[in-house]
Structure 1
């Protein structure tokens, strides 16, 4: 890969991984404006690892508490809020893990067209817009809802968010977008929705990168380690900045700007691949 490819693709991955706009759709835009070849599985693993490092570093104190609480629950010390959230992340990850194993081949072949992604961007974008509008109309003035955090999710909310997350396997959906959509529909405030979505990304990225690593190990190839290290660092830095900014403004701006952006991007993909 050329260095310009490494920089641009790593930044695109980092900046779009945690926004509700679909990182895969943005990576699909690159061939429309360049003659760059596909970056390959090894590069995908590197930039996803960068995103993983970013979310782990941002939530490092929360994750330490979650791990302590979860281990304590296994040792019979009871369920505290941290243990409860840790179990919520585990339970909400199971559906996407099962569905991913079942339809992995279909997703990677027949669903990865620009035309398909265009419809996904628009359709799931409109659903996100409805969820945000419904939350504003129904819960915006509810103090209890607005003051609640991800530690207070009910079992029903956790199950629904987990089931919705399985839809993220559809290219163009956006994993963060669909989980935030589900949380808003279930009456979770915007900030808690986003934080839970970001925490959910950790096991999902680990599972996805693990499957990709297995595929790479079965196809020996020369690995450009220095380029991959730079790509990982750029992806991690841009993803970390994105997480900080998104959580800082989401309560005020809501989801509608992202909905508008998704519709425009989806329409462009449909036009380009028609």
Structure 2
């Protein structure tokens, strides 16, 4: 991939909209192209700035000032006509809308400011515009809420694809292990200086999951520690990182499932987030998690001192 091919894909890469294959090609190009890497860093900075921008709510009296500035559509009558008696609001969506709007309702009647129903002198056109503006605001709020609810599953799906791609890429390349050892006292210190956290490491050969070593991988735009276990003739990659450091936030029950024929399992233990990927099936991952949880519960002090 050259610069002309990579530049149009940078924004999509920042927004996690690329397929696993295209994402890998873009990252491979960025690793050797300083100019495109600067473009990607700028796009990432702009994206983070937008997400962290504060939300400003419109002043409570803004709607009243807009309504007051609208021209009246009523035609002056040569004879004075008595003002119509105020209509008692029987409820419904208009009453709910007035109560929902900041500073309206009883507070507005007491002189507390804010917006209330347009006065009769404002004319029917002003009233229609005011209600239309409120409806637009409600629709915008619903759209924002809907997009936030849809964003989390999309982010998790992209991260799962990234995990599976990492697992498959390691198996195909034949470089799935950086430090080959069954001794956790060799594997765990190997990560020192390569990442800013210390993953718990255990050999679970007695439970059927032999530690083969570890490697450093790049998943979810972060460097991640990967523990490699052998289960019968299968390989299980266990990705370990602090919560929030990589991938979507964990909420609710620990999910399990499959993607492209590979079983996945996610859970939290010992202050870390754990993701396991394998082609051996979900039963193997359940057994590995049970064995790891047992060792973490029984040897927390030993692991912390190692």
**Bigger strand fraction:** 2
**Which of structures 1 and 2 has the larger relative contact order (alpha carbons within 8 angstroms, sep 6+)?**
1
Q: TM-score, normalised by structure 2?
A: 0.26
Indicate the structure with greater helix content: 1
